[in-house]
Amino acid sequence: MPELKVKLIEPNAVLPCYAHPGDAGLDLFSIEHKTLPPSERALIRTGIVIQLPPGTEAQVRPRSGLALKHGVTVLNSPGTIDHGYRGEVKVVLINHGNTPFQVEAGMKIAQLVVQPVLTVDVVRVDELTGTRRGEGGFGSTGV
């Protein structure tokens, strides 16, 4: 099994973990207390740095419970952490709810999903092959 190496850089940092066997996402935890007013966003620290397995990326995704119960989600979802990044993992949260939301130290704030990465050779061409769909997008198949 590939390893996700995690270094705790703050004394109150929590190691990411799966809540249940077979889960896709590892829980990420806040190390700080912060009030998030309605319609505001904030960068929340986790106190960890990671080393991903070769050929992978990590995606920071929202927690469904925070979204449903409080209107709080990850703003740049999914946030991408590239294989070579060695800085602190931070989460951009936004409060779409109507009341202030209190982020607490030790609170689960997001999920981290590790995925394989496909790299490609970029080739400049003069023409692309046609398809039945063509340029149709943004609702072209109905509501």
- Residue range 21-71, pLDDT digits in tens: 999 999 999 999 999 999 999 999 999 999 999 999 999 999 999 999 999
Taking the model in full, what pTM does it have? 0.90
What's the confidence (pLDDT) of residue 136?
78
The DSSP-derived string for 75-96 is TTSSEEE-TT--SEEEEEEEE-
Quick check: bond before 78 cis, omega within 30? yes
Residue 140 has pLDDT above 80, yes or no: no
Helix (H, G, I), strand (E, B) or coil at 2: coil
- Spans of all domains in the chain: 5-116
Instruction: Give mean pLDDT, residues 92-105.
Output: 98
**What average pLDDT does this structure show over 79-95?**
97
The 3-class secondary structure across 92-103, one letter per residue, is EEEECCCCCEEE
**Looking at residue 117, what is its pLDDT?**
97
Whether the CB-CB separation of 89 and 9 falls below 8 Å is answered with no
- Work out the mean pLDDT of the chain and round it to a whole number: 95
Residue 15 has pLDDT above 80, yes or no: yes
Q: 5-116 architecture in CATH?
A: Distorted Sandwich (2.70)
- Calculate mean pLDDT across residues 87-100: 98
The mean pLDDT value for 101-125 works out to: 97
Residues 6+ apart with CB under 8 A from 116: 55, 56
